[in-house]
């Protein structure tokens, strides 16, 4: 069933047309990925669908009572409050009830002797029971924990930009809506969290429309793809891989049609040049057909981003890291790390948010000093750093002048190229080059900043979250550029596709600041990590069995005194453990609103389940032993007879 339709939507900024009367619909169960070059209006389209902005003309028609949750690129919290208060900020009755409950809890923590808040908690607790809202609160805490937010009563004003984005994402995911709108949901979250979100949304039953440049994410979540290109909208049925296939077919058809048109024009032009006169109706119609076909526009060729700058010479000595460590506030982020960077290294750095990835990059580039250890940088090293945040750009400066500050000309394998030509190759046409930087979109500024870094011809390139806010087309060409880059590359990224395509070695941040190396790309790293976990689990189980279950080769014909006593009581032990598990299950349901207590009970259950499994294994062994002894007695009696 159709839940929303965009009809003949037109939107422009100045002379730039974003949408030229585009039309499409969203149905129940649709999971739509929107792609396109930065600046084509992807985020603007989401804002219009969400009702945050309006088009110049056209309309958005929704079904009656349609509920929408919208996650913008940069979320704004309009009211002060804790993490949980912000998560439950909604028009939904049940979510508002939970928000009021969390507000009472927060005030009671601040004013523990205030009787009013204690009374409010009692009243709201009763209402929460009546509305069965505890499950909603528990689900929100689970999602926040998965997103790396565990301080539920922390004021959101104290959070970083990335943490605020994750709180807003949790609010969108928990909202009971018909349509979920997400703008760059994978930005500012680590690889493991991206994988969790991917699985969560793949099982999401409501309609979803999103902008993301994570190609694995699009492949595994989306079932429809919409491409925005030069004011037009092109819909495709399927995920990102299917989109690539269908787009290639569409472009081939367009080119085939253009070849056919050109052949027709050549034939007709020869006829016209032979002096054909429009003396008959047939000849007039033929001339009219020629004029119509000749006036048709040829399909526009896609602009290509071509970066062909050469890097500067790199000597034998690059960057030598010896036994470096770094701590903040008694937390060790990097612990005794050593590495000699090779000239053609392709290294990806992965780990949870806040583990120290960017800190390592800053130390290797000389921005930060280690607490201990040394870092030596070779004399011929020319470092280029594409940081997580754009440098401060003078907003009134023209785009062309921003690049000319680096160089008027750069040398490529094809000779010299001007700054203006380089900008054109990087999808900044002449009219945009003369515009101030303030007129660019966030993604276009990111692309401009990247171009500046690459034009400096570095021979060691550090990329800190390079895929944030870069469109897929830019990423593809950047990957191709890095494939031919002659120097070393070190990148911090949560984009698994990018890591698989660019790197051949992974630095993984483990516990206590230790960094472990894995050979291969991201998928290779995950496979090796999973294999290590299986090996550890297998060894642990084997060791446990050795302790609990005697080897079958040890055929005991008679139970020891302790085994006999255990045999007599093992069935009762199993029954008692099973009853304890049932009691814990009831407790878990009763304290669903108390996240801390809930975690304690879950941990107790896990330990109890292990204990029960061992008891069951012991029960099986003792029963087999008893049967064996009985058979032994029977054989012995037969022998006596």
Q: What does the pLDDT look like over 169-188, one tens digit per residue?
A: 999 999 889 999 999 999 87
More confident residue, 536 or 556: 536
pLDDT of 555 reads 44
Q: Taking residues 207-223, what's their average pLDDT? A: 94
* Percentage of the chain lying above the pLDDT 90 cut: 36
- DSSP classification of residue 438: G
Among the ranges given (18-27, 33-42, 44-53, 99-108), the one the predictor scored with the smallest mean pLDDT: 99-108
Return the residue matching tokens 């429309």. 209
Phi, psi of 457 (to 5 degrees): 50, 55
Q: Read off the pLDDT band of 81 (50, 70, 90).
A: confident
pLDDT at 229 over 60: yes
Q: Taking residues 208-232, what's their average pLDDT? A: 93
pLDDT at 276 over 60: no
Residues 6+ apart with CB under 8 A from 395: 436, 437, 438
- DSSP classification of residue 434: T
pLDDT at 236 over 80: yes
Q: Read off the pLDDT band of 105 (50, 70, 90).
A: confident
pLDDT of 7 reads 95
Instruction: Quote the tokens at residue 637.
Output: 């009696």
Nearest in space to 37 (alpha carbons), one of 446, 436, 503, 352: 446
Residues 6+ apart with CB under 8 A from 27: 1, 2, 3, 207
pLDDT of 28 reads 94
Among the ranges given (285-289, 320-324, 359-363, 555-559), the one the predictor scored with the smallest mean pLDDT: 555-559
pLDDT at 606 over 60: yes
Among the ranges given (154-168, 202-216, 459-473, 591-605), the one the predictor scored with the smallest mean pLDDT: 591-605
Three-class secondary structure assignment of 587-611: HHHHCCCCHHHHHHHHHHHHHHHHH
pLDDT at 397 over 90: yes
pLDDT at 292 over 70: no
Instruction: Quote the tokens at residue 120.
Output: 């409010």
pLDDT of 552 reads 42
pLDDT at 635 over 70: no
pLDDT at 304 over 70: no
Q: What does the pLDDT look like over 341-360, one tens digit per residue?
A: 998 899 999 998 888 999 99
Element (H, E) at 276: none
Instruction: Quote the tokens at residue 142.
Output: 């689970």
Rounded to an integer, what distance in angstroms lies between the CA atom of residue 454 and that of residue 432?
Answer: 20
3-state secondary structure of 115: helix
Q: Taking residues 488-497, what's their average pLDDT? A: 93
Q: Read off the pLDDT band of 210 (50, 70, 90).
A: very high
pLDDT of 553 reads 40
pLDDT of 69 reads 93
More confident residue, 574 or 70: 70
Rounded to an integer, what distance in angstroms lies between the CA atom of residue 384 and that of residue 365?
Answer: 9
More confident residue, 253 or 297: 253
3-state secondary structure of 379: coil
Element (H, E) at 16: strand 16-27
């Amino acid at each position: 069933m159709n839940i929303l339709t965009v009809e003949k939507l037109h939107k422009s900024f100045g002379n730039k047309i974003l949408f030229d009367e585009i039309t499409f619909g969203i149905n129940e169960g649709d999971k739509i990925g929107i792609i396109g070059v930065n600046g084509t209006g992807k985020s603007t389209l989401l804002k219009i669908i969400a009702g945050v902005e309006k088009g110049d003309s056209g309309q958005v028609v929704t079904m009656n009572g349609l509920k929408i949750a919208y996650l913008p690129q940069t979320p704004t919290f309009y009211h002060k409050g804790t993490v949980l208060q912000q998560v439950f900020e909604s028009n939904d009755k049940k979510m508002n009830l939970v928000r009021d409950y969390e507000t009472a809890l927060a005030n009671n923590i601040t004013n523990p002797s205030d009787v009013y808040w204690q009374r409010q908690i009692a009243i709201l607790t009763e209402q929460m029971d009546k509305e069965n809202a505890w499950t909603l609160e528990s689900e929100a805490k689970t999602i926040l924990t998965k997103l790396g937010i565990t301080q539920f009563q922390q004021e959101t004003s104290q959070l970083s930009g990335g943490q605020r984005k994750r709180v807003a994402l949790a609010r969108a995911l928990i909202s009971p809506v018909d349509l979920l709108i997400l703008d760059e949901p994978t930005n500012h979250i680590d690889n493991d969290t991206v994988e969790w979100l991917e699985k969560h949304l793949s099982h999401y039953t409501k309609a979803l429309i999103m902008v993301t440049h994570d190609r694995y994410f699009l492949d595994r979540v989306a079932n429809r793809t919409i491409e925005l290109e030069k004011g037009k909208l092109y819909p495709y049925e399927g995920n990102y891989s299917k989109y690539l296939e269908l787009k290639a077919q569409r472009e081939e058809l367009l080119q085939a049609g253009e070849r056919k048109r050109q052949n027709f024009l050549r034939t007709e032009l020869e006829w016209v040049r032979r002096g054909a006169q429009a003396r008959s109706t047939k000849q007039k119609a033929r001339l009219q057909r020629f004029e119509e076909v000749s006036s048709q526009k040829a399909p526009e060729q896609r602009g290509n981003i071509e970066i062909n700058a050469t890097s500067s010479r790199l000597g034998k000595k690059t960057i030598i890291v010896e036994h470096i460590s770094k701590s903040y506030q008694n937390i060790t982020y990097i612990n005794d790390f050593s590495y000699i960077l090779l000239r053609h290294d392709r290294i990806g750095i992965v780990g949870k948010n806040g583990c120290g990835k960017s800190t390592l990059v800053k130390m290797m580039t000389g921005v930060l000093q280690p607490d201990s250890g040394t870092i030596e940088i070779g004399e011929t090293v020319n470092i280029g750093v594409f940081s997580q945040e754009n440098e401060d750009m003078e907003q009134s400066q023209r785009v062309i002048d921003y690049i000319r500050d680096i160089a008027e000309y750069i040398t490529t394998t094809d000779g010299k190229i001007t700054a203006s030509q380089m900008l054109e190759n990087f999808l900044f046409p002449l009219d945009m080059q003369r515009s101030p930087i303030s007129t660019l979109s966030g993604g276009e500024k990111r692309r401009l900043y990247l171009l500046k870094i690459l034009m400096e011809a570095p021979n060691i390139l550090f990329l800190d979250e390079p895929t944030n806010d870069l469109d897929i087309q830019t990423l593809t060409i950047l990957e191709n550029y890095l494939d031919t880059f002659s120097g070393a590359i070190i990148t911090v990224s949560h984009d698994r596709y990018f890591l698989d395509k660019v790197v051949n070695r992974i630095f993984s941040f483990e516990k206590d600041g230790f960094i472990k190396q894995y050979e291969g790309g991201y998928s290779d790293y995950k496979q090796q990590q999973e294999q290590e976990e299986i090996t550890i689990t297998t060894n642990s189980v084997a060791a446990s069995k050795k302790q609990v279950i005697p080897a079958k080769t040890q055929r005991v014909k008679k139970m020891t005194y302790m085994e006999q006593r255990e045999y007599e009581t093992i069935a009762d032990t199993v029954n008692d453990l099973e009853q304890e598990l049932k009691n814990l299950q009831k407790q878990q349901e009763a304290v669903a609103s108390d996240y801390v207590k809930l975690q304690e009970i879950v941990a107790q259950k896990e330990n109890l389940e292990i204990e029960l499994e061992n008891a069951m294994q012991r029960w099986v062994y003792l029963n087999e032993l008893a049967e064996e002894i009985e058979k032994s007695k029977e054989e012995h009696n037969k022998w006596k007879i």
